[in-house]
Amino acid sequence: MPVRLPRPALMLAGAPLLVLVSVAGAITVGPSDLSIADVYGVVADRAGLGSTDLTLLQQSIVWDLRLPRTLLAGICGAGLAICGVILQSLLRNPLADPFVLGISSGASTGAVSIVVLGIGSGAIGLSTGAFAGALASFGLVLLLASLAGGTTDRLVLAGIAATQLFSALTSFIVFTAADAEQTRGVLFWLLGSLSSASWTDVLVCAVVVLGGLVCCIAGAGWLDAFAFGNDAAASLGVDVVRIRAVLLVLTALMTAVIVATSGAIGFVGLVLPHLARALVGVGHRLLLPATALLGAIFLIWVDTAARTMIDPEELPVGVATALVGVPAFALVLMRARR
């Protein structure tokens, strides 16, 4: 068993600082020689609090490319990790996460349909399509799993089925209806990438993920109560049907917005909650913020590695999270064996 470090609350207080350092540090990494002081200069300049002596190109690299990308990575990492905690707690399944359960795949299909059919565009339009897709695939998974008996492995198997189905649908839509440019985009939706991050994406994701986090922390006691199942939660005074519905829809919404801006990124939601539990314990009041912060730090650095590792090419971040995540997944799987 992991060692319980002292004062989880104190660690939690230090973690936001680590996120800040991660954001600033990650921006300096890459093919343009920048320091943390340069990054601070640009941010201060834009905020009207100082000035910077960088060239316009360098300023643009910081402000238009790397800063939104790094922030988006942090927000997506936090959001996916929170979704993992909620799904694992509500479905009582240590292997649950939006990617494994096919919610991300469904969201991808929804977003791709919007792009290809030309119904709408922009972060909001894509997110709406992704939300519809996420709900559809989540509904399918829960239905399949409950028809099959509702055990832990059935849920994961249903998730695999949904992932395959919706990945196939995404590819199908792209190859039949899209032009060459859009066809290249299929990799974006299937593997996940943060390369197109914009300030609008950052804003939309930040609102939804922060809102989701606050809602979930507000219901932390209810999430705790699900540890022994739905009946046990009900006997502890939780309105199971309503709370479950609200939290599952919230999960689908967060996943949808994240997928709409960055594609289907796997393993963040699966692995990080387990790490956070080992650090701060199982109580959701600490676990949720801890998982969010860990998820943010994790995805910021994995994305930084992904965009610089095989310079000048860029590795899709979903490939990088899978490379890190699969061994971690194997560890979780072995621990879940009872």
Partner 1 sequence: MTTLETERVCWAPRGRLVVDDVSLQVEDGATVGLLGPNGSGKSSLIRILAGLRPPSSGDVLLDGSPLAGMSRRRLARRLAVVEQEPATSQDLRVRDVVALGRVPHRPAWAPDSAQDRAVVEEAAAHAGIADRLDQRFSTLSGGERQRTQIARALAQEPEILLLDEPTNHLDVRHQLALLALVRRMPMTCLVALHDLNLAAAYCDQVFVLSHGRVVAGGAPAEVLTESLIAEVYGVRARVHHDDGVVIRFLGPVS
Task: Catalog residues that contact partner 1 under the rule CB under 8 A.
Answer: 1, 88-89, 92-94, 152, 217-222, 224-225, 227-229, 231-232, 234-239, 277, 281-283, 285, 336, 338
User: Residue 89 or 108: which CB sits closer to partner 1?
Assistant: 89
Q: State the virtual CA torsion across 259, 248, 292, 285 in degrees, nearest 10.
A: 170
Contacts of 9 (CB under 8 A, 6+ apart): 286
User: Residue 93 or 128: which CB sits closer to partner 1?
Assistant: 93
User: Residue 114 or 238: which CB sits closer to partner 1?
Assistant: 238
Contacts of 284 (CB under 8 A, 6+ apart): 85, 89, 216, 217, 220, 221, 223, 224
> Token digits for 183?
């066809």
User: Residue 94 or 122: which CB sits closer to partner 1?
Assistant: 94
> Token digits for 156?
């994961």
- Assess whether the previous peptide bond of 316 is cis (omega < 30° from 0): no
User: Residue 151 or 164: which CB sits closer to partner 1?
Assistant: 151
Q: How far is the CB of 247 from partner 1 (least distance, A)?
A: 11
Q: How far is the CB of 337 from partner 1 (least distance, A)?
A: 12
User: Residue 22 or 88: which CB sits closer to partner 1?
Assistant: 88
Q: How far apart are CA 312 and CA 277, in angstroms?
A: 38
> Residue 335's CB: how many other CB atoms inside 10 A?
11
Q: How far is the CB of 144 from partner 1 (least distance, A)?
A: 20
Q: How far is the CB of 70 from partner 1 (least distance, A)?
A: 30
Q: How far is the CB of 243 from partner 1 (least distance, A)?
A: 9
> Token digits for 163?
């992932």
* Residue of 26, 2, 4 lying closest to 307 (CA atoms): 26
Let me know: does 170 contact 109? Beta carbons within 8 Å. Answer: yes
Q: How far is the CB of 290 from partner 1 (least distance, A)?
A: 15
Task: Provide Rg for the chain, Cα atoms.
Answer: 20
User: Residue 20 or 333: which CB sits closer to partner 1?
Assistant: 333
User: Residue 58 or 152: which CB sits closer to partner 1?
Assistant: 152
> Residue 206's CB: how many other CB atoms inside 10 A?
17
Secondary element (H or E) of residue 186:
helix 180-191
Q: How far is the CB of 274 from partner 1 (least distance, A)?
A: 9
User: Residue 168 or 330: which CB sits closer to partner 1?
Assistant: 330
Q: How far is the CB of 229 from partner 1 (least distance, A)?
A: 7
Q: Which residues of 232-253 are buried (b: 16+ CB within 10 A; e: fewer)?
A: ebeeeebebeebbeebbebbbb
SS3 55: coil
Q: How far is the CB of 331 from partner 1 (least distance, A)?
A: 14
In the 8-state DSSP scheme, what is residue 226? G
> Residue 6's CB: how many other CB atoms inside 10 A?
7
